[in-house]
Amino acid sequence: MNNRYSRQELFPPIGKEGQQKISTKHVLIIGAGALGTGSAEALVRAGIGKLTIVDRDYVEWSNLQRQQLYCEEDAINRIPKAIAAGNRLKAINSSVDIKTLIADASGLELEEWAKQVDLIIDATDNFETRMMINDVSQKYQVPWIYGACVGSYGIAYTIIPEKTPCLACLLKTIPIGGLTCDTGGIISPAVNMVVAYQISEALKLLVGDMDSLRNKLVSFDLWKNQYSAIGADKLKDEHCPSCGKERSYPYLSFENQTKTAVLCGRDSVQIRPPSPIERDLEALEKAFLKQNGTVQRNPYLLSYSIDHHRLVIFKDGRVLVHGTKDITEAKALYHRYLG
């Protein structure tokens, strides 16, 4: 007799009935980095019916410290993360239907994927994609779980269309700048804690135990021994363009997305935010000086060179990524170093 899920079924809030429900559900994970690999492994071990993983990047040596599905051979061969993750997950549980996509999650693709899933888990590295996930969630009535971490800090929040405030209610506008794992570092316990929050909420949703959902935005700093859980219900905005009465899903429109263009005759891609912003070049310089690359700054722009790429960042938010004509690669570098 196969007792693979017996310990999970012995847990009363799940039981055999809940396990059966889990086995029929389809979850979409956007991103196969630290949060994505942790969440994917937990769901596959829990017996999810179908799992789709989307990621545009490949495995690098710096990933191995915290991205638990990858090994040294993946980094040596620069295997796409989606493929490496899928191979490992199939070895863990061959009964799960695992679909892997090497892709950049744009609005059009997110809309198509969202029509087929029961839950979306955020494991991205940027707020632009999160806001598109948020709009897709509201448009197609699919719950999603926001999560992020950097350094020893982490945050998680569960969003249920028509019931909770959405991410746009909480943030109002897309945050620009801030530390990333590549500029501020990260420790694996912070990743594991966010994954624990995200997957515990995911299991509640998958078995239909809505009364047990946290209904609070949780944040913590493990190094500073800080923790907070904030009730967000009062932040729901009836005029919110993403979830309000006259919603327009603004982050799915082309006008509100980051613009990219390959520069004619040059091995470079220009990336421009949806609207002009003012970058703090001095703060960016301090962050980049902690890295292995070369940093140069004048009153108008900052240049950061690493490996065979060079990012030139202007005060108005524009970035030139030199050393590639691949827009997907350029966007990956942009989000890696600029959040």
Q: What share of the chain is helix, strand, coil (3-state, %, to 5)?
A: 40, 25, 40
Q: Could you tell me the two tokens for 333?
A: 């570098």
**240 in catalytic set:** no
Do the beta carbons of residue 194 and residue 146 sit within 8 Å? no
Catalytic residue, from 169, 181, 240, 243: name it: 181
Q: How far apart are CA 85 and CA 99, in angstroms?
A: 10
The answer to whether the Cα torsion of 50, 53, 54, 58 is positive or negative is negative
- Report the C-alpha gap between 27 and 5 in whole angstroms: 19
CA distances from 238 to 97, 101, 166, 244, 256 (A): 39, 36, 11, 4, 21
Q: DSSP E strands: which ranges in the chain?
A: 26-30, 50-55, 97-102, 119-122, 144-150, 153-159, 216-221, 226-231, 259-262, 268-272, 294-297, 301-306, 309-314, 319-322
Nearest alpha carbon to residue 92 among 39, 33, 61, 47: 47
Give catalytic residue positions: 181
